[in-house]
Chain A
Amino acid sequence: MRFELFIAARYLRAKRRQAVVGAVTAISVVGVAAGVASLIIALAITNGMRRDLQQKLVGSSAHVMLMRVAGDGISDWRPLLARLRSLPHVAAAAPVLYEEVLISRNAHSGGALIQGIVPADENTVSDILPNVRQGSASGLEPVASPMLSTPPIVIGQDLAQTLGAEVGDTVLVTSPQGELTPLGLVPKYQRYQVAGIFNSGFYQYDSSYAFIRLADAQRLFSEPDLVSAINFKVDDMFRADAIGREIEHAAGPGYESTNWMEQNRELFRALRLEQAVTVIVLALIVCVAALNILIALTMMVMEKTRDIAVMMGFGVRIDQVRRIFLLQGLLISLIGTALGLVLGYGLSWLGGHYRFIHLDASVYSIDYLPFAPRLIDALYVSAVSLGVSLLATLYPSGSAAKILPAEALRYE
């Protein structure tokens, strides 16, 4: 292999008899570098987007949710909550009673998922309430005599916009779970005062989430001291699935759990698909670069036919001839890949550090393009680049190995 590498490296460095061969070789290197750099940058952006989305998503919601299989609510929730909090891997736990409701203000209305919470607990599993931008979530703290005034509600920014509501305004919450009266089923309703408006950065949350005190929720839904679920924060969010099963097991029969990954499966699947499509499209650049390698090597073999015949004359074997050109293609690819990696990671680092690409925050929820280059991507991208280049060397190296020395030298 030393001999083949010696020849291949020298052929690559040497000034070409035909300048065009050198030019095509240089173009091949640049092509591979461009392809590799594009892939690294694209992967850094999709990773950055996913990381950002994940952080926001996980910040705004619990890692694991425990509920009854029968959907009848958890009645004896206090001792269960205390017991489950002490489980290994459980970082925090909070009770929640939720129900779908209609919220209206004057002529405007919107569907919402109203959640009755205990703020001190809720804040340990979700970042939504501490991030209230207008007003405050402090009104949700339990009070001694809740009946004395209009109870508070904290709603999402987009929902507030739909309702045309601002902090201090009163909204009407109507529960479809009505009360059976002699006049028939009468929906239950209650007025709430908007205490705060939050902005989680997620349209789904900002357009449909509303928080009220747990006691108020229980009163609204006529559920005396009942919660729908217990939400958990765990120490390793990527093990939410396994930890969820442990919690389920500890809670006993009749309970089931779900987790943030399960709930957002479609979203992450879409992100993965987007990433796969991006990678495939950009890998085409590497394929074009590999075609350049094929052309460069084919021209090189044509230029070197006599030299190959002479080498065979002094005993260079066919497999050695083949390897010379395989190595040459690989060297072109290695140089291009190395340049591409440096360029890709360099630009990704600059992009992440200086945030020079700005986005419309109202559309993307962040105002800059996030870059999150991962080292493992270098491995995948290099493998693709070198693999495709290796395929491109097969034809020229094969044709070099087919040269018959006597024939080649006879026509010289």
Chain B
Amino acid sequence: MSDLSGRTVDTLSESAAPAMLRAVGLAKIYPAVASSGVNAISPGEVVLFRNLDLSIATGEMVAIVGESGTGKSSLLHLLAALDRPSAGDVWLGDTNLSRLSPRQAAEFRNRDVGYVWQFHYLLPEFTALENVAMPLLARGLRRSEALQQASLWLDEVGLAPRADHRSGELSGGEQQRVSLARALVARPKLLLADEPTGDLDGNTAEAIFSLIQTLHRQHRLTSVLVTHNLEFALRCDRVLRLRNGLLEAVAAR
């Protein structure tokens, strides 16, 4: 295992704080697809990673880097209980995410994790404010209360004046800010971001990354970011690289 210049380090948490998020012996394998026909191409089993261990301490901000197709997004999906691992377990505190029922997993995603995608994925039929309020509405909160809380978050990401605009009327950076507010409106412990700046130009990307850093600090989040931007990665507490199915720690700050 090596750092960006080839130096080998441990992938487990270097922080003295207790591990909040742990992955033990994690594997994600896509089985061979059975196909028929003369020209059918039958891809064999695809192993993204196997026996992957990861430990992230409370309050840590960890960047995961790696080439496209190495399984970074899949790893993030497993950490968010959006997908089930082929083997191994993911623990958030004392909760084994791999053992959650679909209903429990949904409740976990609603309360304990905020997720930001590369493409904002806002719901186009709804205003910025309604998009931010969605996780609270889904939880069954009264509309007025949900919108009130959402408007505070929209204010926090600097988009209060755009509350009534639909996603199509917002710029890429604004959309990602709304997406961030939506991820954090339920006050989760964990923020997972999958290339949150990947679709933005330099200045906007910088602004969004700075915002994530600020929110991470202010709300004492534990954050895991997948990014291709090494500069941003190096501004995190720790950088891990996923390569050939292995997670390597890279020396960071």
Contact = CB atoms under 8 A, between A and B. Distances in A.
A407 to B, nearest CB: 8
A2 interface: yes
A312 B140 contact: no
A315 interface: yes
A306 B125 CA distance: 13
Interface stretch (B87-95, B102-110, B206-214): B102-110
B123 A6 contact: no
A315 B119 contact: no
B20 interface: no
Contacts of A6: 137, 143
Contacts of A409: 77, 82, 117, 121
B135 interface: yes
Contacts of B108: 315
Nearest to B125: A14
B73 interface: yes
B82 A406 contact: yes
Interface string B212-228: 00000000000000000
A315 B102 contact: no
B106 A316 contact: yes
Nearest to B106: A317
Contacts of B74: 406, 410
A244 B108 CA distance: 71
B115 A314 contact: yes
B235 interface: no
B139 interface: yes
Contacts of A10: 125-126
Given A307-B123, A405-B82, A315 B138 contact: yes
Contacts of A2: 137, 140, 143
B106 A315 contact: yes
A318 B102 CA distance: 8
A312 B106 contact: yes
B123 A315 contact: no
B178 interface: no
A404 interface: yes
B107 A315 contact: yes
A409 B77 CA distance: 10
B180 to A, nearest CB: 12
A138 interface: no
Contacts of B63: none
B84 to A, nearest CB: 9
Contacts of B126: 10
B238 to A, nearest CB: 25
B61 interface: no
A15 to B, nearest CB: 8
A320 B103 CA distance: 10
A15 B119 CA distance: 21
A310 B123 contact: yes
A306 B115 CA distance: 15
A318 B103 contact: yes
Given A6-B143, A313-B115, A315-B138, A404 B106 contact: no
A305 to B, nearest CB: 12
Contact of B77 (A14, A320, A406): A406
Contacts of A404: 83
A314 B138 contact: yes
A412 interface: yes
Contact of A310 (B77, B117, B125): B117
21 contacts: A2-B140, A10-B125, A13-B125, A14-B124, A17-B124, A310-B117, A310-B121, A312-B106, A313-B82, A314-B109, A314-B115, A314-B135, A314-B138, A317-B106, A318-B106, A405-B83, A406-B77, A409-B82, A409-B117, A410-B73, A412-B119
Given A11-B125, A17-B124, 5 more contacts: A2-B143, A311-B123, A313-B80, A313-B82, A314-B109
Interface of B: 73-74, 77, 80, 82-83, 102-103, 106-111, 115, 117, 119, 121, 123-126, 134-135, 137-140, 143, 182-183, 186
9 smallest A-B Cβ distances: which pairs? A315-B110, A406-B83, A14-B125, A317-B106, A315-B109, A406-B77, A314-B135, A310-B121, A316-B138
